[in-house]
Amino acid sequence: MGDQFLVVGGDAAGMSAASKAKRDAPETDVIVFERSNWVSFGACGLPYYVKGEIAKLEDLVVMEPRRFVEERGIDLRRNHEVTAVDPDAREVTVETDDGHYRESYDELLLATGGQARLPDVPGVDLDGIFPIRSLEAGRALRNYVAHHEERPARGIGSTSARELRSHLDEADPEVVAVVGANKIGIELAEAFLARDLEVHLFDSGPRVLRSFGADIAEMVEDHLAEGGVELHLDSPVERFRGSDGTITMVETADDRVAVDAVAVDVGVDPEVELAEDASIELGPTGAVATDEYGRTSAPDVFAAGDCAEKRELLTGDPILWPFALAANRAGRAVGRTVAGQPAAVGGVVRTLVMKAFDLQVARSGIVDHDEARAAGFDPVSALITSITRAHYYPGWSRMVVHATADAESGRFLGANMVAEEGTAHRINSVATAVTAGMTVDEVGALDFGYAPPFGPVWDPVLGVSKVLEAKLE
């Protein structure tokens, strides 16, 4: 590898790449530029911080910045924003509070992440509307809805005007809207209810969690409604209205709901401005296009994390998948490659697990028939209701599993599942089967562990495989 490896972005992909490159090639100068003061944090924990289950924002930090410097020998430069990349000159331009300078590179990683997408409707710039992606956005939202439990500290890094709202001292919300019935949106709805707020959940689609299928989604919808969430489905937001610059109402084609705050979860857009300005190729998803090793169209420039495309293993298509494990894995692979041991960044089968009040909801692979046919499969599905423990062991609950296979090859394509317990570890067996290209027969023959407190003799994954097997005969 070269003498100097530069990393733009100090979260999952960036710090994983920097750490692995420095570990495998200690003689290399590894420099990380992070435009904020935060590095290596778990943004997926923000709903639980807003709820109050996590006491301090700093608890979401995975590793203290000083440890990267003192223990790993990484030159970590926080509050340094890379504003331009010049692939021909092999250098970047860096802005700081003291001015700007240029830094040369032998290899460069763009790990610029993604930003929360906002609805393209009037009024989206009003105070009291929170796109949750950064730690500072999470702090601002918690301050807004929790009577200012934790004031913003000084010296915490770059903070946008949208993130630290100007009317915190006057805010005393009673009604909150969530726009986007997705993972973070549903977890935030629970957080708001725990703070005794009235919660309205809006989504443009006919059901929550669209990628989970109708059977699973309906169970989650019923559970949300029972928990106190007012659902507004098939209700795209058309306008946000406000007074004195602050949100007061969410407006759809059929309804107008007075609110005091809005949290938004309608997707993540990859941060690709640096790449675009440097004429680095973007893929069909709008994220940076890379090869199997994370290389971009520019020589010795890599991209990883939420700014880069992922490959869906079942279809082979490039997709956006802004989740932590994929970012960490891709960053680590780039670090190995830069250190002289080429490693593929790998693909995804879109495994996801989440909490919806007392329910655990999980998915992996392809279950939807239209999606399966578009990928060239002939789908056959099975839907079963099982239990999470032996029937005689106290505390069991019902588990619904919906799985799909390919009729021609017998390949197990994926499953969705929901229960009060047990989905978080079971979905990993599904992910393993889908990634390995296993058939339904092979999945049904797996030697799962069994004990009454953890499951029935015929685990729900084995059970749904048996039903699929019968349908394929």
The pLDDT score that the predictor gives to residue 133 is 86
pLDDT per residue as tens digits for the range 313-325: 999 999 999 999 9
131, 261: one domain:
yes
How many domains are there within the chain? 3
The pLDDT score that the predictor gives to residue 213 is 84
315, 400: one domain:
no
Mean pLDDT for 405-415 is 98
Question: Is residue 345 a part of any domain in this protein?
Answer: no
pLDDT per residue as tens digits for the range 221-244: 999 999 999 999 999 999 999 999
The pLDDT score that the predictor gives to residue 149 is 56
- Residue 39 pLDDT > 70, yes or no? yes
Question: Which of these three, 220, 248, 266, is where a domain ends?
Answer: 266
- Residue 1 pLDDT > 80, yes or no? no
110, 131: one domain:
no
Per-residue pLDDT band for 162 (boundaries 50, 70, 90) equals: very low
197, 235: one domain:
yes
The pLDDT score that the predictor gives to residue 214 is 87
The pLDDT score that the predictor gives to residue 147 is 61
pLDDT per residue as tens digits for the range 67-101: 999 999 999 999 999 999 999 999 999 999 999 99
Question: Is residue 186 a part of any domain in this protein?
Answer: yes
134, 259: one domain:
yes
Question: Which of these three, 245, 266, 287, is where a domain ends?
Answer: 266
The pLDDT score that the predictor gives to residue 155 is 30
Mean pLDDT for 364-376 is 96
DSSP string spanning 93-126? EEEETTEEEEEE-SEEEE---EEE----STTTTS
Catalytic positions: 44
Question: Is residue 198 a part of any domain in this protein?
Answer: yes
Question: Is residue 318 a part of any domain in this protein?
Answer: yes
**Six-digit token string for 137:** 């956005």
How far is it, in rounded angstroms, from Cα 300 to Cα 305? 17
The pLDDT score that the predictor gives to residue 210 is 86
Distances in Å between the alpha carbon of 61 and those of 122, 135, 271, 353, 444? 35, 10, 22, 21, 40
How far is it, in rounded angstroms, from Cα 145 to Cα 128? 10
Per-residue pLDDT band for 256 (boundaries 50, 70, 90) equals: very high
Least confident of 176-180, 210-214, 336-340: 210-214
Per-residue pLDDT band for 168 (boundaries 50, 70, 90) equals: very low
How far is it, in rounded angstroms, from Cα 309 to Cα 320? 6
- Residue 427 pLDDT > 70, yes or no? yes
- Residue 152 pLDDT > 70, yes or no? no
- Residue 166 pLDDT > 50, yes or no? no
- Residue 174 pLDDT > 80, yes or no? yes
Question: Is residue 53 a part of any domain in this protein?
Answer: no
415, 466: one domain:
yes
The pLDDT score that the predictor gives to residue 202 is 98
Least confident of 145-159, 354-368, 423-437: 145-159
- What is the enclosing helix (H) or strand (E) of 42? none
By residue count, the chain amounts to 473
pLDDT per residue as tens digits for the range 337-356: 999 999 999 999 999 999 99
How far is it, in rounded angstroms, from Cα 368 to Cα 212? 8
List the CATH number of the domain containing 438.
3.50.50.60
Question: Which of these three, 296, 313, 338, is where a domain ends?
Answer: 338
Q: Residue 152 carries which DSSP code?
A: P
The pLDDT score that the predictor gives to residue 16 is 97
How far is it, in rounded angstroms, from Cα 360 to Cα 354? 6
Edge to edge, what strands does the sheet with 229-232 contain?
A: 129-131, 261-264, 175-179, 198-202, 229-232
Per-residue pLDDT band for 164 (boundaries 50, 70, 90) equals: very low
Per-residue pLDDT band for 160 (boundaries 50, 70, 90) equals: very low
pLDDT per residue as tens digits for the range 108-149: 999 999 999 999 999 999 999 999 888 999 999 999 988 645
The pLDDT score that the predictor gives to residue 161 is 40
Question: Is residue 166 a part of any domain in this protein?
Answer: yes
pLDDT per residue as tens digits for the range 40-61: 998 899 999 999 999 999 999 9
Contact 223, 361 (CB under 8 A): no
Contacts of 273 (CB under 8 A, 6+ apart): none
How far is it, in rounded angstroms, from Cα 173 to Cα 192? 10
94, 144: one domain:
no
The pLDDT score that the predictor gives to residue 304 is 98
224, 359: one domain:
no
Contacts of 115 (CB under 8 A, 6+ apart): 131, 133, 268, 269, 271
Question: Is residue 366 a part of any domain in this protein?
Answer: yes
Residue type, 62: V
162, 227: one domain:
yes
124, 168: one domain:
yes
Share of the chain above pLDDT 70, in %: 94
110, 128: one domain:
no
Per-residue pLDDT band for 151 (boundaries 50, 70, 90) equals: very low
Question: Is residue 108 a part of any domain in this protein?
Answer: yes
Average pLDDT of the chain to the nearest whole number = 93
Query: 246 is in which domain, residue-wise?
Result: 118-266
Mean pLDDT for 25-48 is 94
180, 288: one domain:
no
Contact 383, 215 (CB under 8 A): yes
Per-residue pLDDT band for 215 (boundaries 50, 70, 90) equals: confident
